[in-house]
A and B are shown apart, each in its own frame.
Chain A
């Protein structure tokens, strides 16, 4: 840590851009805190709709994370362990939502799950369920955007895990499912936890896909980011307060991530 060798000193041409980068990343947050109307904070938070948006955000992000865990961990296993052909194509497909503009994702979801969509019309005909503009749509939009983060993280953990432990389990009478539950999962638990937190944070901040697919209805689909955007046009102070709340939640997540999981995952 305390290495002071000549080679570890930062070369001058890197120093200035690096400092600029730090300033660029930190200044807006500082600006946000400076402009925060701290005296009105209580009143703003108590305003109708704020608590609702926050609750909706937390609930939908948590549900999206749960859904991502349920579907994403098995997918990560398949990507990491299966020797099936076309695995790299599958991985590429899975990671598309990572690079896809979320609004495009929202449009795509709308086309598939909308009332006229392939899956949507079937859901409507069979169960009388319509997804768009419901809280379920929020969860689906967030899952679509956030699940790849979990998949990538868990796949990495699975690849890094020592596969010989699974051999040991097999010689001890554990079938593949038992091995997965009792050996593989606990071994990659730190990676799963880190992936889940990343996924949750991404879902919490989701905007584009949500507003496209789920709309912006207070109480059912208006999450915090949507509320911030709306508030900025009508009451900038409210937007700032809401932003600070999101910032606080994000920072808390980061702390949790660092202390609880990243440290252990890296150890």
Chain B
């Protein structure tokens, strides 16, 4: 069971041109900001939207392409939407059994399968309830059971966790992870939350403005972001520039000393906790020292995340105590420094 898709379609101002491949049992996360085209992509995969051009092949079966398009209801897929979207007029068990009934399973067998899945997602005994009587997390679990009960070849998860509150999200994410591990088909997870992508996916593609801007393992994408969007998501400062030896001349002006030799166009990435702030120019030998202005500060656990503007824009995490001691206020002039060994550098 595998998915190969190339999609080329226009929706309003968006021009989506992406190619994705997902192997058996693999989970691909499609990460990107709102309006990037993620939802358009899953709607095409689901058959809810016909692409202008492209090809969708699942398990060797052509769903889109060759001038034909298999309608959504003939595709062996399961889909979970952002809001659980359980049918309000049916009981929870009937919701889960719905896909089996439409595909011709008898009432009793469908009901038994639904009850089995409700137990697997931890909702045993709640099958007789109305969807309105479930909590958000329970409803999303039921929606997952409803999508998986038909034994789909392709599972599409469209922002499955983003409507849940933080605590519920954690529990449902763990649940989802467990079920994805046991799922033999291909899974495409659409999310704008990097944590979902890191926790659930084997591979990540980052989509921005309709194009894939980065692809790789979650660890790779989070360590070596290639766009500001991803960098901000994973909390890194991304500095594009050109390397020569152990110096990177930044495109935006200024330079960063790095520990490894590199050449040509590169990204220099700096983690917020590696940035130190000083009220006056520090003495000693740090080579990477820049004047900067504090433009934003948000508490972040025991630290304060400081956004710095200047020739080299950076994000710095300082302890709340240090922040108070330095008497930092927005607009304050500071000095920022980073050790060369703390700067990651990789080719663009």
Contacts and interface: CB of A to CB of B under 8 A. Distances in A.
Nearest to A186: B89
Given A164-B81, A164-B85, A165-B87, A174 B102 contact: yes
Contact of B102 (A165, A167, A173, A189): A173
Contacts of B47: 170
Nearest to A187: B89
A169 B79 contact: no
Given A171-B46, A171-B78, A187 B88 contact: yes
Given A173-B150, A174-B73, A178-B102, A167 B89 contact: no
B71 interface: yes
Interface in A150-188: 162, 164-165, 167-175, 178-179, 182-183, 186-187
Contact of B72 (A170, A186, A187): A170
B77 A171 contact: yes
Contact of A173 (B48, B87, B89, B103): B103
Contacts of B83: 164
Give the one of B71, B83, B85, B90 with max A CB within 10 A: B85
B48 A165 contact: no
Interface in B77-101: 77-79, 81, 83, 85, 87-90, 98-99
Interface string B56-80: 0000000000000001111101110
Contacts of A162: 85
Task: For chain B, give the interface size range.
Answer: 20 to 34
A172 B46 contact: no
A194 to B, nearest CB: 16
Interface string A187-225: 101000000000000000000000000000000000000
B87 A171 contact: no
Contact of B98 (A167, A169, A187): A169
Interface string B139-158: 00000001100100000100
Contacts of B81: 164, 167-168
Given A167-B48, A168-B79, A178-B102, A173 B85 contact: no
Contacts of A182: 98, 102
Contacts of B75: 171
Contacts of A172: 73, 78, 98-99, 102, 146, 150
Contacts of A175: 71, 73, 102
Nearest to A162: B85
Contact of B99 (A165, A173, A187, A189): A173
Nearest to B143: A168
Nearest to A164: B85
Give the one of A165, A172, A174, A189 with max B CB within 10 A: A172
Nearest to B47: A170
B77 to A, nearest CB: 6
Nearest to A185: B89
Given A173-B73, A175-B73, A168 B46 contact: no
A172 B88 CA distance: 16
A86 to B, nearest CB: 23
A173 B150 CA distance: 9
A186 B147 CA distance: 21
B92 to A, nearest CB: 14
A170 B85 contact: no
A186 B102 CA distance: 16
B89 A170 contact: no
B89 A171 contact: no
Given A173-B73, A174-B73, A175-B73, A168 B102 contact: no
12 contacts: A165-B85, A167-B81, A169-B102, A171-B75, A171-B79, A172-B73, A172-B78, A173-B73, A173-B74, A175-B73, A182-B98, A186-B87
Interface of B: 46-48, 71-75, 77-79, 81, 83, 85, 87-90, 98-99, 102-103, 146-147, 150, 156
Interface of A: 162, 164-165, 167-175, 178-179, 182-183, 186-187, 189
Q: What are the 7 closest A-B residue pairs judged by CB atoms, nearest first?
A: A172-B99, A170-B72, A186-B89, A173-B102, A171-B79, A174-B102, A173-B103
